[in-house]
């Protein structure tokens, strides 16, 4: 898919700087780069890169000691964003005049052609892939019926709304898994672990985006006193895991209780620290639907400072086999998730 781009430039004085005349360059810092999931990527290494927290991963292995070769999938939840935006801004000005001007660009994307049934199918397929991944690690993934024998977990599953449709996303929990709620929601999974005989209970939550945005900005000062402030935004349709987490729950034991701060609690909450780009193309087409801009005159009035903002809107039509493309691209990430437990 060809990348679309937006660029906004605001002139702050009658003297326009050029690359040959520019004396100073003030650039925005580079944002953290996403990681790319490929078939050849070593799974455990990618997991460490994505979570960027070796101590959290080490604690899971420590808590896992003596728990055997069984694992339970308590929650497998996938959110597909259908409305997403990105932007870039930069502020600058002429120090001699004491003014500041801010310029900004923004792009909004809407995803068309994805149904709640598609997202439910993606969540269910990811559950199956997780089961296969943990099995290949040497684990027995407990059947949903064993988990549902726990009355509290059965209630969690029964009260989970799936699929769920909102204004900017569609979300689904895999069948026979659930989203616990309430102030002690995580305790429900530690209790489930105890009911199952201290089997680790896995909670996986993914948020899928369909566009990427890369912004930058700089101020260029001329040797003759002129200055330009610019903000740039490159954007395109792209499938990625925008955010998510892997939580691993173990029984704390009735005698220990849930005591935050003394180490007896055995809830391992591991959020993703990086966006994970996936190689699949989910866009059949991208159409620009219009733009809006507010500007100020670039005459001498601009020397006093001001603001400029430009926005564009795009509609992305999903490919007809969207759910199959997404499911295929998520399958290797199930193997990344399974690396959170040591191989048997």
In the DSSP assignment, the letter for residue 3 is P
Q: Is the pLDDT of residue 105 over 60?
A: yes
As a whole-number percent, the residues of the chain with pLDDT over 70 amount to: 74
Burial pattern 178-203, b for ≥16 Cβ within 10 A else e, equals: bbbeeeeebbbbbbbbbbbebbbbbb
Averaged pLDDT for residues 124-129: 98
Q: Is the pLDDT of residue 168 over 70?
A: yes
What φ, ψ does residue 163 adopt, rounded to 5°? -75, 160
Q: Is the pLDDT of residue 113 over 90?
A: yes
pLDDT of residue 106: 84
Give Cβ neighbours of residue 191 (< 8 Å, ≥ 6 apart).
150, 152, 251
| Residue that wins the pLDDT comparison between 88 and 40 | 40
Q: Is the pLDDT of residue 102 over 60?
A: yes
Distance of CA 137 to the CA centre of its chain: 26
pLDDT per residue as tens digits for the range 243-257? 999 999 998 654 444
DSSP E strand stretches across 93-168: 101-112, 140-141, 164-165
248, 270 Cβ separation under 8 angstroms: yes
122: how many CB neighbours lie within 10 A of its CB?
26
313, 108 Cβ separation under 8 angstroms: yes
d(CA 210, CA 206): 13
Nearest to 252 by CA among 67, 71, 73: 67
Q: Is the pLDDT of residue 236 over 50?
A: yes
d(CA 275, CA 41): 15
Average pLDDT, rounded, for the chain: 81
Averaged pLDDT for residues 239-245: 96
Confidence of residue 117 (pLDDT cuts 50, 70, 90): very high
Instruction: Show me where the domains of the chain are located.
Output: 4-338
As a whole-number percent, the residues of the chain with pLDDT over 90 amount to: 54
Averaged pLDDT for residues 219-223: 66
pLDDT of residue 308: 67
Pairing mode of beta strands 140-141, 22-27: unpaired
291, 312 Cβ separation under 8 angstroms: yes
The two three-digit tokens of residue 207, written as one number: 């948020």
In the DSSP assignment, the letter for residue 34 is P
pLDDT of residue 90: 67
Confidence of residue 207 (pLDDT cuts 50, 70, 90): very high
Q: Is the pLDDT of residue 71 over 80?
A: yes
Which span out of 17-21, 64-68, 270-274 was modeled with the highest average pLDDT?
Answer: 270-274
Q: Is the pLDDT of residue 26 over 60?
A: no
pLDDT of residue 185: 80
The two three-digit tokens of residue 95, written as one number: 């120090």
Averaged pLDDT for residues 289-304: 42
Q: Is the pLDDT of residue 293 over 80?
A: no
């Amino acid at each position: 898919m060809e990348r679309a781009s937006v660029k906004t430039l605001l002139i702050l004085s009658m003297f326009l700087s050029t690359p040959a005349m520019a004396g100073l360059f003030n650039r925005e810092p580079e944002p953290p780069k996403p990681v790319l999931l490929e078939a050849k990527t070593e799974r455990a290494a990618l997991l460490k890169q994505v979570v960027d927290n070796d101590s959290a991963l080490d604690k899971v292995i420590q808590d896992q000691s003596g728990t055997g070769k069984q694992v339970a999938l308590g929650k497998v939840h996938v959110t597909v964003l259908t409305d997403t935006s990105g932007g870039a801004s930069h502020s600058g000005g002429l120090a001699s005049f004491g003014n500041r001007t801010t310029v900004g660009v923004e792009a909004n994307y809407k995803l068309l052609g994805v149904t709640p049934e598609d997202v439910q199918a993606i969540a269910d397929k990811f559950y199956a892939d997780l089961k296969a991944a943990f099995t290949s690690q040497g684990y027995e993934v407990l059947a949903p019926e064993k988990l549902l024998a726990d009355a509290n977990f059965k209630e969690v599953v029964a009260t989970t709304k799936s699929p769920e449709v909102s204004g900017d996303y569609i979300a689904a929990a895999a069948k026979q898994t659930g989203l616990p709620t309430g102030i002690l929601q995580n305790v429900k999974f530690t209790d489930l672990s105890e009911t199952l005989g201290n089997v680790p209970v896995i909670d996986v939550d993914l948020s899928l985006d369909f566009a990427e945005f890369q912004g930058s900005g700089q101020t260029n000062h001329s040797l003759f006193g002129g200055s330009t402030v610019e903000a740039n935004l490159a954007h395109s349709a792209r499938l990625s895991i925008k955010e998510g987490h892997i939580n691993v729950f173990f029984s704390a034991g009735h005698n220990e209780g849930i005591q935050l701060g003394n180490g007896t609690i055995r809830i391992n909450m591991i959020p993703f620290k990086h966006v994970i780009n996936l190689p699949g193309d989910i866009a059949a087409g991208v159409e620009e639907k219009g733009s809006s801009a507010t500007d100020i005159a670039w005459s001498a009035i601009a020397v006093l400072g001001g603001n400029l903002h430009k926005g564009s809107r795009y509609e992305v039509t999903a490919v007809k086999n969207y759910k199959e493309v997404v499911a295929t691209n998520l399958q290797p990430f199930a193997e990344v998730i399974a690396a959170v437990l040591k191989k048997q």
